[in-house]
Amino acid sequence: MKKIIWLLSICLSLFADDIVVFENEYKVLELEKKVKKIIVGNQELINISLLNESSSPKTLVKLFGKKSGNTSILVVYRDETIGDFHIYVNQNLGYLQKMINTIEPNLRLSKVGNTSTVISGTFNDPHQKTKIMNLLVSGGVDAATLMDLTQTKKVNKMIRTKLYLVEVNNNKAKELGGVTGIGIFSEYTNLSINPDSITGATFSGFLLDHTAKYTASTGASVVGTLKFLEEKGVATILDDTVLITTEENNASFHVGGEVYIPIGLTQNSTGLPTIQLEEKEYGLRLTLKTKFMEKDDFMHMDIQIKDSEFDTNHEHDVKLGENTSVPSFISKNIDTDIVAKSQQVIVLGGRLHTEELNYEDKVPFLGDIPLFGELFKSKKTMKKNNDLLFFLVPEIVDANKDINDTNFYREFKNENEQFHKNILDENSSNGIKAQENLAVEHKVIEVSDADEPLVEIELEGYSPKMIADDSKTQVQETVEQEKKYTVATTNIFLREKPLNGAKVTIWSKGHVFTVSAEKERFGSVWMKVKEDCLNDCTSVEKEMWISKKYTQEL
The CATH number linked to 126 is 3.30.1340.30
Positive/negative CA dihedral, 506, 508, 512, 514:
positive
Amino acid at 526: W
Q: 148 and 225 share a domain?
A: no
- Expressed in angstroms, the distance from the first to the final Cα of the chain is 124
**pLDDT value at position 14?**
46
**Residue 512 in contact with residue 534, Cβ under 8 Å?**
yes
Do 167 and 147 share a domain, yes or no? no
User: What is the percentage of the chain residues whose pLDDT exceeds 90?
Assistant: 1
| Average pLDDT for 172-193 | 42
pLDDT tens profile 218-250: 334 566 667 667 776 777 888 888 888 887 788
The span from the CA of 174 to the CA of 154, in Å, is 51
**pLDDT tens digits, one per residue of 409-449:** 555 555 545 444 443 333 333 333 333 333 333 333 333 33
The pLDDT of residue 422 is 42
CB 235 within 8 A of CB 228: no
Letter string b/e over residues 204-222, b meaning 16 or more CB atoms within 10 A of that residue's CB: bbbbbebeebbeeeeebbb
d(CA 471, CA 473): 6
Beta strand pairing call for 17-22 and 82-90: parallel
Structural domain of 119: 94-152
Whether residue 447 sits in one domain with residue 519: yes
Shared domain check, 516 and 448: yes
Residues forming a β-bridge with 329: 310
CATH for 537: 2.30.30.40
Strand ranges, E, within 342-471: 346-362, 377-397
- Residue 505 backbone class (left: φ over 0; alpha: ψ -120 to 50; beta: rest): beta
Is 377 a residue whose pLDDT tops 60?
Answer: yes
**Among 71, 72, 125, which residue's Cα sits nearest to residue 100?**
125
pTM of the entire structure? 0.46
Q: Are residues 10 and 84 in the same domain?
A: yes
Structure confidence at residue 443 (pLDDT): 34
Question: In DSSP terms, which residues pair with 497 in a beta bridge?
Answer: none
* Number of structural domains the chain divides into: 4
Handedness of CA 506, 510, 515, 521 (dihedral sign): positive
Amino acid, res. 118: V
H or E element in which residue 423 lies: helix 405-424
* Top-confidence range, 86-95, 317-326, 511-520: 511-520
* Per-residue exposure over 501-511, b if at least 16 CB sit within 10 Å of its own CB, e if not: beebeebeeeb
Same domain, 238 and 375: yes
Q: What share of the chain is helix, strand, coil (3-state, %, to 5)?
A: 25, 45, 30
DSSP-assigned beta bridge partners for residue 77: 35
Same domain, 478 and 503: yes
Same-domain pairing of 99 and 83: no
